Structure 1
Amino acid sequence: MGELTIKMPDVGEGIAEAELVEWHVTPGDVVREDAVLAAVMTDKATVEIPSPADGKVLWLGAELNSKVAVGAPLIKLEVAGETHEEKPVETAPPPVPEKTVEPPKAEVAKPQPASVNAPSTTVARGVASLRSEGEKPIASPSVRSRAMEAGIDLRQVPGSGPAGRITHDDLEAFISGVNRPAKQSGLRPNTSENEVKVVGLRRVIAERMSLSKSRIPHITYVEEVDMTALEELREQLNRNRKADHPKLTILPFLMRAMIKAIADYPQFSARYDDDANIVHQYGGVHIGIATQTDTGLMVPVVRHSEALDIWGCASELNRVSEAARTGTARREELSGSTITISSLGALGGIVSTPVINYPEVAIIGINKIAVRPIWDGTDFVPRKIMNLSSSFDHRVIDGWDAAVFIQRIKVLLETPALIFVEE
């Protein structure tokens, strides 16, 4: 009989030592070739140390949780034959992070000659492969035990794990006679970075938003509005509209409700010159319509909306919005608003916090309509509910006044006949 001294293996990536975290054997144990003797941990991974030969454990060279230098004696085995030189064992290196390159295309290799212990298989390069001549298979004890029970020679089983390690899936595929390709995730880290210069309209928008938020202390007030009656009226008006009348959306109704509310509370159709400390209140209601275009957010203006009926508001709204989207809006159609509407249409969400169109003092934001169960005093009934999310310049608009203004709009929208009453 002879002795075989197993050294601490080189686990790769320039690591000089590793921490011994687990012994799988004790002195006196009889081990078989490829049985796991110990496990060591680096800052990259935990690596198992297999036995290079059959033998009996004579000596353990390190304490648990101690650091062991690469090449240091780790364990001694009593083996058949003469005394063996000290030798390191080969282990599966820790996984290496994937490089951001195109994966190699799989090429089907020629079938391997049949083994007496296993069926022939077809192997895809880069997916799972057999090891070179004389190379020992790498596998966990449970895989080895299962292979032994099935009478499988692991040297004939392609491994898809790190360093060709054989997994349970590899063994299962081999037993079934089909070499299953290793699962290849389509997910890859994306390390790209794009620099987008903020220029043109986008820069103007950025400057105006920054100016608004830096100079205006915003207060946002949200109220729930029952739009059921208005929606019924809108559908009826659209069914019976004249040929030269545009199709009505919610916005013309909101515009007319705002006009009537502003008649009672003129401080909301205003612009604040904060350098001169002067609030300019306007008799004319010039409503800005926040409009998304291919180049960014623009605010075309429906001027003197107080002089337009519901159909006139709809027509002018359509005209200036289309001019903004097509880039044909005139300068005067993109300036001079005294209060603005913000709407995301069907994407309106539940609540928003619209940014005031500086130097105005108020912006009215509408959210999407949703059918919700509402208690009517005796039962829950389905109603079409929409939130109004509105922001105000808190330097000149008190929270109470903002709430009163929105409540007035709410009453008009929930009782749409009042919108058409001339006072």
Structure 2
Amino acid sequence: MARFTFNLPDIGEGIAEAEIVEWHVKVGDTVEEDARLADVMTDKATIDLESPVSGKVLEVAGEAGDTIAIGSMLVVIEVEGEGAGEPGDEATAAQAPSPAPAPAPKDDDVSTRIEVENSDASDANDAIARGQDDRKEQDEASNSPNDQPGTGRKASSTRILASPAVRRRARDLGVDLQQVRPQEDGRVRHADLDAFLSYGGGGGFAAAGKARKDEDIKVIGLRKRIAQNMAASKRNIPHFSYVEEVDVTELERLRAQLNDRRGDKPKLTMLPLLITAICKVLPDYPMINARYDDEANVVTRHGSVHLGMAAQTDNGLMVPVIRDAQAKNLWQLANEVLRLANAARDGTAKSEELSGSTLTLTSLGPLGGVATTPVINRPEVAIIGPNRIVERPMFVPDGMGGEKIEKRKLMNISISCDHRVVDGYDAASFVQDMKRLIEAPANLLIN
């Protein structure tokens, strides 16, 4: 037998090291050629490494969460060949094959939502704001011969539709999912579990619930990068936030009219309209569309708007970037939003699509909230956060010199800024100019 040492290959882009995110083998395993060995991460790209040979795993380099240098030993594999039995025989991978892109998550409930205000349950919004990708199990549900008509759920001999998180919670609570009545589309969700438990599983009021076991979760991969970036942002940037209420009644009316006449174009969500408003106002506030290199003590004010969109994926927070957003019309922006949302969800976003933003837009979508104080995506100097749309009675002009009460759609817009670069007056003026444009949205369509 001979020993084959597979070194961590050069992933490119000047990367000197990578973090081990997950092992797919352990010492003693027998692997085939092209079998998955490990997932490693550099920056925000996760790379799937495959075995160039078949054999038995003798050594692995560290545990998940460890960082190893490019060119250092990743795995040692015992392979068949001449010189078997001679100690120290070792074949080294001189040139490892290019790593394949990480495959899309295979969970039943891949959840991604671009965090934008969602007031219309459209297909595009599902991909962006709600983002629940239930296609696989919905297809199974629609094609299964064992469906129970009129019940919205499967027959007892088939698998109940539920995400892995719901199944795990039900198992921990000792709940049989067959006994839980789903409220919509035959899929059991956390809310259905809560409703079931609130009545003691149908037998009276429930107790507070049994305690779960303590567990230690190692912070690795993208979650580790997020933690490091957020800590660096709060540690180095003196944040301040400003919030203003905006009447979006007319903007929503315009959006509905445009959607009625869109033809084969993608359905507009609120996001492209807000991006257009931001891009129209930014030329008067160049200090907001900027990046601050605090080591060189240089602020770069960017002429183009490369807008980052905070996206919650199954693997953690990602920020895909719309390049030259100021040069795109509403429909082009809608296409980019949808394309980048899908790329973030299925793991196909390229590294250049996840870096280089000059300003970021973030929102909790339908979860909303009255106001947010988002954390700046360093080295940018500002981040904008639209919040949930609510309907409230407001005093509006009645056209005869008086006022009347009318139901209006209102939304708060939050902005967090780096106080080293942006003054409070400038941030407030920027949002007020956005407000004036949003409340008279016909101006969005004027070049």
| Category of TM-score, reference length = shorter chain | 0.5 to 0.7
Residues 188 and 288 from structure 1, CA distance in 2 versus in 1: closer, same or farther, beyond 3 angstroms?
closer
Structure 1, unaligned runs of 5 or more: 1-101, 103-182
Q: Relative contact order: is structure 1 or structure 2 higher (C-alpha 8 Å, sep ≥ 6)?
A: 2
Q: Residue 363 of structure 1 is aligned with which of 383, 393, 401?
A: 383
Q: Does 1:197 pair with 2:222?
A: no
Residue deviations 1:237-280 (CA, integer Å, cap 9, x gap): 0011021x111011101101111111111111110001111101
1:299 alignment counterpart: 319
Q: Please point out which of 327, 335, 344 is paired with 1:324.
A: 344
Which of 266, 279, 283 is the matching residue for 2:286? 266
Relative to structure 1, the CA distance from residue 392 to residue 185 in structure 2 (aligned partners, 3 Å threshold; closer, same or farther) is closer
Q: What TM-score do you get using the length of structure 1 for normalisation?
A: 0.55
Q: For 2:294 and 2:377, locate their aligned partners in 1 and report how far apart those are by CA, in whole Å.
A: 14
Task: Indicate whether 1:218 and 2:239 are aligned.
Answer: yes
Q: 1:397 aligns with which of 422, 428, 435?
A: 422
Q: How much identity, in percent, do the aligned residues show?
A: 53
Please tell me whether the aligned partners of residues 227 and 385 of structure 1 are also in contact (alpha carbons under 8 angstroms). Answer: yes
Summarize the Cα distance change of 1:187–1:258 in structure 2 as closer, same or farther, 3 Å threshold: closer
The 8 Å contact of residues 373 and 383 in structure 1, kept in 2 or not, is answered as: yes
Q: 2:251: which partner in 1?
A: 230
Instruction: Tell me, yes or no, if structure 1 residue 413 matches structure 2 residue 433.
Output: no
Aligned mates of 1:248, 1:188 — CA distance in 2 = 43
* Cα gap change, 1:187 to 1:251, in 2 (>3 Å): closer
Distance 1:188 1:232 in 2: 46
Q: 2:330 aligns with which of 310, 313, 331?
A: 310
* d(CA) in 2 for partners of 1:310, 1:278: 33
Q: Secondary structure at the match of 1:329?
A: coil
Q: Deviation per CA, 1:160-191, whole angstroms, max 9, x where unpaired?
A: xxxxxxxxxxxxxxxxxxxxxxx997446526
How far apart are the structure 1 equivalents of 2:374 and 2:330? Answer: 25
Amino acid at match of 1:366: P
Alignment partner of 1:385 is 2:414: no
**Is residue 289–residue 321 contact of structure 1 (8 Å, CA) maintained in 2?**
no
The amino acid that maps onto 1:412 is L
**Paired residue total:** 241
Once the two structures are superposed, residues 288-307 of structure 1 have per-residue CA deviations (whole angstroms, 9 ceiling, x without a partner) of 00001001110000001111
Pick the aligned partner of 2:372 from 352, 362, 371.
352
SS of 1:368's equivalent in the other structure is strand
Q: What is the CA–CA distance in structure 2 between the aligned matches of 1:309 and 1:188, rounded to whole Å?
A: 52
Residue aligning to 1:15: none
Which amino acid in the other structure matches residue 417 of structure 2? Answer: F
Deviation at 1:378, TM superposition (A): 2.0
Q: CA deviation at 1:321?
A: 1.6
Larger Rg: 1
Counterpart residue type for residue 320 of structure 1: L
Structure 1 stretches of 4+ moved >3 Å: 183-189
C-alpha distance 200-380 of structure 1, shift in aligned 2 (>3 A): same
1:348-367 per-residue CA deviation (whole Å, 9 max, x = no partner) reads: 11111111111101111010
> Using a 3 Å threshold, how does the CA distance of structure 1 residues 198 and 235 change in structure 2: closer, same or farther?
same
Matches for 1:102-251 after TM superposition, within 5 Å:
186-187=207-208, 190=211, 192-243=213-264, 245-251=265-271
* CA distance in structure 1 between the aligned counterparts of 2:216 and 2:297, rounded to whole angstroms: 40
Distance 2:362 2:279 in 1: 16
Q: In structure 1, the residue corresponding to 2:403 is in which secondary structure? A: coil
> RMSD across aligned C-alpha pairs, in angstroms?
1.9
